[in-house]
Structure 1
Amino acid sequence: MEVSAHLTYIIGHLHLNKGRFGRSEHARIIEANDDSVTVRSVSTPCDLHLRLVRDGVTSMESMLRAAAARWQSRRCLGTRTVLSEEDEPQPNGRVFKKYRMGDYVWRTYTDVEQEARQFGAGLRSLGAEPRQNVVMFAETRAEWMLAAHGCFTQSIPVVTIYATLGDEAIAHGINETEVSTVITTHELLPKFKKILARTPRVDTIIFMEDQLKTTPRDGFKEGIRIVAYKEVLDMGKQCKIESVPPAPGDTAIVMYTSGSTGVPKGVVLSHRNMVATLKAFADAMPIREADVLMGFLPLAHVFELLAESLCLIGGVPIGYSTPLTMLDSSSKIMKGTMGDATILKPTCITTVPLIMDRISKGITDKVSRSGPFASAFFKWAYAYKQGWMRRGYDTPILNLVVFKKVRALLGGRVRLMISGGAPLAPDTHAQVRLCLCCDVVAGYGLTETTSCATVMDPLDRSTGRVGAPTTGTDIKLVNWVEGNYRVTNTPYRQGEVVIGGDSVAEGYYKNPDKTREEFIDIEGRRWFRSGDIAELHHDGCIKIIGESRISEGFRNHPEIYYDNTHNAI
């Protein structure tokens, strides 16, 4: 029996992963009384954070300039080529339209900076002015990022609106921000044939082209200019308009959040806010020069926008995907054509719990269909690995023999998954981390804090928590007497989460009453009342334990993150 156990250990293990549990202290209390407690990170700035300071990065415009100067001809933004759309007969006799796809085509850092500046100049030649809002209503793709940075080069604030919102909410965002120019895509352009009747100020619509289809420009309200993205680039190449770099306090983004009730609110995010989150994310998320990110979440969500921006400054290529084409089994992938993940082989993926739950369900379904012996063996391997991971060990042979096929779903190289947007279920967290053999890092933040507040240490093996405050951010728990959540409670201090730091937004667009209600400045530091309830653990990490505003928004509006008709997993 003893020999058998010893052999089992050797089969499962090749080495001890030292330090798998990370640090014993992630944040410490800097102020406490009977009404509140404030904690601050014990981390020190990493090399990338220090380089942002050294390079004088104070805006998103200067961030891209610094990134292009450093990385130059390195791959930056990648788009998968769609070769054709063809009919594919199904076993049940139905016929579906599927894509035959080619390789990724890459823009270098030099290409990206040049194209962004050309787009910004083209916008100006169409009549857009510095500090005059422009709406971005588009799905995630390389041109989204390029157009946004084009706006930043001219100090033009970008108003982001989720592509899945209804016509009324879209019209509200356009009218409240008084825009005359909307940037959209081939697929979404037809929506404006109806919306334009409600948006009298709009006179110019720029659309990002489809790879295969020609975009009809007829049938729109008289007097509306319909301009292709590439035409704007051509205008920018020909005109002599110089860049207008923004100041740190200038508005970079007005980001509309759905919230759980009422009309969407526009959160005003300055360049200072965005650079503060960039520095915090650089310290919290260990990216490497050899990494590749697969981008598919909505860039209209601040979490995805800042995660991708971290990759830009860190020299990490971003290959774009969609739930329709991500996997070999995705709904638009033609039989015999590989999905985006198989071609790209990403090492990092940003995700949200809804998609993590789908991945988890996909793993469970695959195991249940594998037959009784294979299913039993997988369950044994899962329990065995889970037990040893709790002790700080890994099981590299089991990873290779048992979990390799699961890893192959996402290209086989994923080492880091970053989950935000809503609480991540502990069971899902554990299963995905174990079966994909990667670190799964959960974080907490809101649009009002430029997605920044807390992030887990990648070496933290716990689940159900959201980590410690990021560098530059203070987390304050304040008594909520009505719910009996007090900072004097035991074994854990509890209270409402109040977030302070440079990442806290300027406020709500044209809503001073709501801004005064939820934002406050104390001794030069800006704070935001989240409305969420948390408990503080002894290592400085927090756990959200109350009904949170962000989770309510996620539950009531899951389409913001994922269209259920796409069936990605």
Structure 2
Amino acid sequence: MSDAERPWLGLYRDGQPHAFEPEYDNLLEMFAASVARAPDQDAIRYFDGRISVARLDTASDALAVALRAHGFAPGDRLVLFSQNDPAFVVGMLAAWKAGGIAVSANPMYKDRELGHLLRDSGASAVLCLDELYPVVSRVAADGVTVITFSGLDWQTRNDARVFPSPHRLRVPEALDLLELLAEYDGRRPPPVSAAPGDPAFLVYTSGTTGDPKGAVLTHRNFVFNARSYREWMQLGPADTILGLAPLFHITGLVGHGVLALLLPAPLVLAHRFEPSVMVDAVREHRPVFTVGAITAYAAMAGVPGAGPEDFRSLTKIWSGGAPIAPAVGEQLGEKLGGYIHNAYGLTETSSITHLVPPGRRAPVDPASGALSIGVPIASVHSRIVDEDGVELPPGEVGEVLISGPQVAAGYWRRPDASEAAFPGGELHTGDVGFRDAEGWFYLVDRKKDMIIASGYKVWPREVEDVLYSHPAVREAAVVGVPDAYRGETVHAFVSLQPGAVVTADELIAFCRDRMAAYKYPRAVFFVDELPKTASGKILRRELRKG
């Protein structure tokens, strides 16, 4: 790719992405600059509610003072057990202002999962959605401060599609967030210092190979990657952000929450993802930018009555969390009226490391049919290595390794796991892919998802991409199952487009005509919905359980 072909050339020097100069030492300095620059700007839009940058500052000050008054000390951990509510943003700022570390918790967690996170992080306080309090009450240790809030706070619309009850709960056994904000309003916490390498957040991995581990993400990680979003996606204060991804997930946390604090730009929140509610939010608030799972875009595009005109404000949209099948990207682009750019990153890289730049379409690899995840962003060094750690030339498939200023400091209190995953500070992603001669990167699959059928490697992504090209298929997932003769055999799980009719034999024949004999699925099973994480990733491991 020549320099003349790079519309994002300002981010390059000598044909390579250059390192950004440090802009802020920590997140508190970053947010203070935004408060000084645009205090009256909307920081959060939540249904019919508005919270200005200045009000977000004073509210987080008050909560920080309240935390300190109830025993929270510098270095302590505050768990945010929340949907996409304003309290999440208030809470993470308050944790930093109190000198502590924020910890995000999936609101779908049950007792076992939340109990592990509380014990592993050693949290001394929890900011909790009121309806989730029963889970906290059963697993929190004595002495843990619990503060509750309601999804109804900061707005009056109380949309029944996301709020089953129109009444705010009051939990007598816990402190109440709104009461604390009123009690400590106008007070400022004592100054704290945060070095660039100090932990800002613990974000727990999905735990596919054991209990989830807390990735230690620093102030430097977040400040750097928020700036990466701003520069590479060409965003400014006028670019309202749609909170499509969950804030507890790394994509929503950095690509929505921290980014909005940096710009500052309004962040549109809607409690939780409900497709018709999100479409209404787009119609009302006219956001410009978002990043989310491709499954979320598909759900919004499928809302009855929604069309390209409804989405015309969304001119800067990216998909993260899972690679896009080329056919799906084209179909959704037509429904949404714009191109969905690919982006790639992990919890351990504080969100993005590769993306398809604005104004460019991702190339499709002619051999595999894979859609590129993009090019490395500034300061990222990404390479492909074989099983012996030897770097591979363009076109050769191996593991993706990443180093740079957005890579986590390691896993919380897991030195052995940290050394295994980050030898020499370079993250071994577990993702398998390749780069082409022009510098575009492509993912093949996860190492652990590879299927060995009759001695041949089968990557589920390739089979899924073929299935997605069939007009009847809405979603597809492919897994390997034990087979006495072949070692493993390929099974596919498929959900269909509304009104579509197709048989398993027809889909098997469709795949057989388009790929090698060892790759096509030997069985196809139809399901109404494929199991997914809260961030929209399809859970192949659930399908393997049968």
Shared fold by TM > 0.5?
yes
Counterpart CA distance in 2 for 1:41 and 1:137 is 44
Q: How does 1:309-348 map to 2 (within 5 A)?
A: 309-322=258-271, 327=276, 339-348=280-289
8 A contact 1:440–1:458 mirrored in 2: no
Matched residue, 2:171: 217
Matched residue, 1:530: 429
Say if 2:376 is the partner of 1:469.
Answer: yes
Per-residue CA deviations over 1:179-228 (Å, capped at 9, x if unaligned) read 231111122123234x33xx32453211112424232425xxxxxx5011
Matched residue, 1:392: none
Say if 2:274 is the partner of 1:307.
Answer: no
8 A contact 2:25–2:195 mirrored in 1: yes
Deviation at 1:481, TM superposition (A): 6.0
1:408–1:229 CA distance, 2 compared to 1 (3 A) = farther
Counterpart CA distance in 2 for 1:186 and 1:125 is 22
8 A contact 1:486–1:494 mirrored in 2: no
TM-score, length-scaled by structure 2? 0.73
- Structure 2 counterpart SS, 1:546: strand
Say if 2:154 is the partner of 1:205.
Answer: no
Per-residue CA deviations over 1:100-119 (Å, capped at 9, x if unaligned) read xxxx2211111111211111
Which of the residues 46, 58, 67 maps onto 2:34?
67
- Structure 2 counterpart SS, 1:269: strand
Deviation at 1:67, TM superposition (A): 1.0
Say if 2:300 is the partner of 1:416.
Answer: no
Counterpart CA distance in 2 for 1:176 and 1:201 is 15
Which of the residues 414, 419, 424 maps onto 1:511?
414
1:517–1:27 CA distance, 2 compared to 1 (3 A) = farther
Which of the residues 247, 261, 265 maps onto 2:195?
247
8 A contact 1:439–1:459 mirrored in 2: no
TM-score, length-scaled by structure 1? 0.70
Which of the residues 515, 531, 534 maps onto 1:560?
534
Unpaired runs of at least 5, structure 2: 153-165, 365-370, 451-459, 461-475, 478-529, 539-546
1:473–1:183 CA distance, 2 compared to 1 (3 A) = same
Say if 2:120 is the partner of 1:120.
Answer: no
Counterpart CA distance in 1 for 2:9 and 2:238 is 29
Counterpart CA distance in 1 for 2:150 and 2:219 is 29
Counterpart CA distance in 1 for 2:66 and 2:127 is 13
Identity %: 21
Matched residue, 1:547: 446
Counterpart CA distance in 2 for 1:144 and 1:560 is 16
Say if 2:316 is the partner of 1:349.
Answer: no
Per-residue CA deviations over 1:335-362 (Å, capped at 9, x if unaligned) read xxx93222112222221022134345x2
1:359–1:327 CA distance, 2 compared to 1 (3 A) = closer
Q: Aligned AA for 1:515?
A: S
Q: Aligned AA for 1:528?
A: L
Counterpart CA distance in 2 for 1:121 and 1:282 is 31
Per-residue CA deviations over 1:355-412 (Å, capped at 9, x if unaligned) read 134345x28x98xxxxxxxxxxxxxxxxxxxxxxxxxxxxxxxxxxxxxx612444x4
8 A contact 2:251–2:292 mirrored in 1: no
Deviation at 1:132, TM superposition (A): 0.9
Counterpart CA distance in 2 for 1:499 and 1:520 is 11
Matched residue, 1:258: 206
Deviation at 1:240, TM superposition (A): 6.3
Say if 2:308 is the partner of 1:407.
Answer: yes
Say if 2:188 is the partner of 1:236.
Answer: no
Say if 2:399 is the partner of 1:496.
Answer: yes
Deviation at 1:149, TM superposition (A): 0.6
Deviation at 1:433, TM superposition (A): 2.4
How many residue pairs match? The answer is 439
Deviation at 1:327, TM superposition (A): 2.5
Which of the residues 349, 355, 362 maps onto 1:449?
349
1:292–1:25 CA distance, 2 compared to 1 (3 A) = closer
Per-residue CA deviations over 1:69-117 (Å, capped at 9, x if unaligned) read 111211111111xxxxxxxxxxxxxxxxxxxxxxx22111111112111
8 A contact 2:77–2:95 mirrored in 1: no
1:345–1:203 CA distance, 2 compared to 1 (3 A) = same
Counterpart CA distance in 2 for 1:439 and 1:234 is 45
- Structure 2 counterpart SS, 1:307: helix
1:480–1:486 CA distance, 2 compared to 1 (3 A) = farther
Matched residue, 1:293: 241
Deviation at 1:550, TM superposition (A): 10
8 A contact 1:297–1:561 mirrored in 2: yes
8 A contact 1:253–1:268 mirrored in 2: yes
Unpaired runs of at least 5, structure 1: 1-18, 31-39, 81-103, 219-224, 331-337, 367-404, 565-569
Per-residue CA deviations over 1:468-500 (Å, capped at 9, x if unaligned) read 111011102112369xx9724x6x243211101
Counterpart CA distance in 2 for 1:106 and 1:217 is 25
Counterpart CA distance in 2 for 1:167 and 1:546 is 32
Q: Aligned AA for 2:199?
A: T
Larger helix percent: 1
8 A contact 1:260–1:549 mirrored in 2: no
1:293–1:279 CA distance, 2 compared to 1 (3 A) = closer
Counterpart CA distance in 2 for 1:443 and 1:271 is 22
Which of the residues 30, 44, 52 maps onto 1:77?
44
Deviation at 1:447, TM superposition (A): 0.7
Per-residue CA deviations over 1:21-42 (Å, capped at 9, x if unaligned) read 75599999x9xxxxxxxxx973
- Structure 2 counterpart SS, 1:187: helix
Counterpart CA distance in 1 for 2:334 and 2:249 is 28
Counterpart CA distance in 2 for 1:544 and 1:205 is 42
Q: Aligned AA for 1:458?
A: P
Q: Aligned AA for 1:170?
A: L
1:179–1:290 CA distance, 2 compared to 1 (3 A) = closer
8 A contact 1:137–1:160 mirrored in 2: yes
Deviation at 1:234, TM superposition (A): 3.0
Counterpart CA distance in 2 for 1:25 and 1:247 is 32
Say if 2:280 is the partner of 1:280.
Answer: no
Deviation at 1:437, TM superposition (A): 2.6
8 A contact 2:44–2:51 mirrored in 1: yes
Counterpart CA distance in 2 for 1:185 and 1:475 is 39
Matched residue, 1:8: none
- Structure 2 counterpart SS, 1:559: coil
8 A contact 1:479–1:495 mirrored in 2: yes
Structure with more relative contact order (C-alpha pairs < 8 Å, separation 6 or more): 1
Matched residue, 2:132: 188
User: Larger Cα Rg: Structure 1 or Structure 2?
Assistant: 1
8 A contact 2:229–2:235 mirrored in 1: no
Which of the residues 101, 111, 117 maps onto 1:157?
101
- Structure 2 counterpart SS, 1:453: strand
Deviation at 1:143, TM superposition (A): 1.4
8 A contact 1:140–1:296 mirrored in 2: no
8 A contact 1:478–1:498 mirrored in 2: yes
8 A contact 1:356–1:428 mirrored in 2: no
